[in-house]
Amino acid sequence: MQNYVGEIAALLAALGWTISALCWTTAGKQVGSLVVNTVRLAIALPLFLLYGAIVLGEAVPLSASPREWLILGSSGVVGFFFCDLFLFRSLLLIGPRLAMLIFSLSPIVASLCGWWWLEEHLSRTDMAGMAIALAGVSWVVLESPRRRHPAIVGQHPPARGLLFAFLAMLAQAVSSVIAKTGMQEMASPVAATEIRLIAGLICFVLLMPIVGKSRACLQVFKKPQVLKVMIVGSIAGPSVGVALLMFSFKHISTGLAMTFISLTPVMIIPFSVLIYKEHVSLRAILGAIIACSGAAILLLL
């Protein structure tokens, strides 16, 4: 079991991301994606401060070098800020299942980043895995809305929603590669995650007054039902989920860890059916499986 500690951590991280995606969709419909983005990091930060003070001996990882703060902070800006800006908006526009399905392509882009950044070689098997994963996602994205749900008459999923999900996927892949680089000398994945979270939160705090959402963020704390959902999502996603992912980076490759994260759209299907009463066609289920299979081929063979 100890030999698979990295894989188990990444799999649990995928489950955490699944739960958080559902929470963000629910809360976002009531208060908006920008507010959810900011408040969930504000909720998560005290958890890291408490853990750092009790377990690591410092609430804020000031012992990290300026280089580690710069690299991990940059990863946080790309991952927690830009990635989540796009992802949360896509969750509201096209729903958690489709958004997370496109998001599951991040292992492929992470591999491409490794090929470009680290001069890693892409074999024919790698290219075959990419093609299979892209085919699976395309099959679902291009499905007629009438076939996804006979009662719905309209066009294909909003182009903006698909674009935002794609940009979120790109940002997540780049962020993961940067994070792995910054973690090479850090002993604690939790401390590394805290640095990334602080950088992302600063960006949102600066953005909120510009877009006139500061008051809306404060009002969330006066809405118990929304706040409960956001607390669950904050613990599952940016706290436990991301920390587990960073932990897995120390034991397995970035691409392999992201392969397990790509299982999120498969995990989210039963929740979409039970919670949102969404009609999930056989084509959608097969497309999700094909997409994840392609990512697995790319990174495991």
pLDDT 10s digits, 114-140: 677 656 566 777 677 767 877 887 777
pLDDT in the model for residue 129: 74
pLDDT in the model for residue 151: 39
pLDDT in the model for residue 2: 55
Q: What is the pTM of this model?
A: 0.79
Distance between CA 11 and CA 122 in Å, rounded? 25
Contact (CB, 8 A) for 18 and 268 = yes
pLDDT in the model for residue 95: 82
Q: Based on the structure, what is the number of domains in the chain? A: 1
* pLDDT-flagged residues of the chain (< 70): 1-3, 114, 117-122, 126, 130, 141-157, 298-301
Domain with 229 in it:
2-148+156-300
pLDDT in the model for residue 150: 43
Radius of gyration, CA atoms only, the chain: 19
Residues 6+ apart with CB under 8 A from 14: 260, 261, 262, 263, 264, 267
Distance between CA 129 and CA 261 in Å, rounded? 16
Residues 6+ apart with CB under 8 A from 82: 167, 171
Q: Which of 213, 102, 106, 80 is nearest to 158 (CA)?
A: 102
Contact (CB, 8 A) for 32 and 274 = no
pLDDT tens, residue by residue, 24-82? 888 988 998 889 989 999 999 999 999 999 988 999 999 999 999 999 999 999 999 99
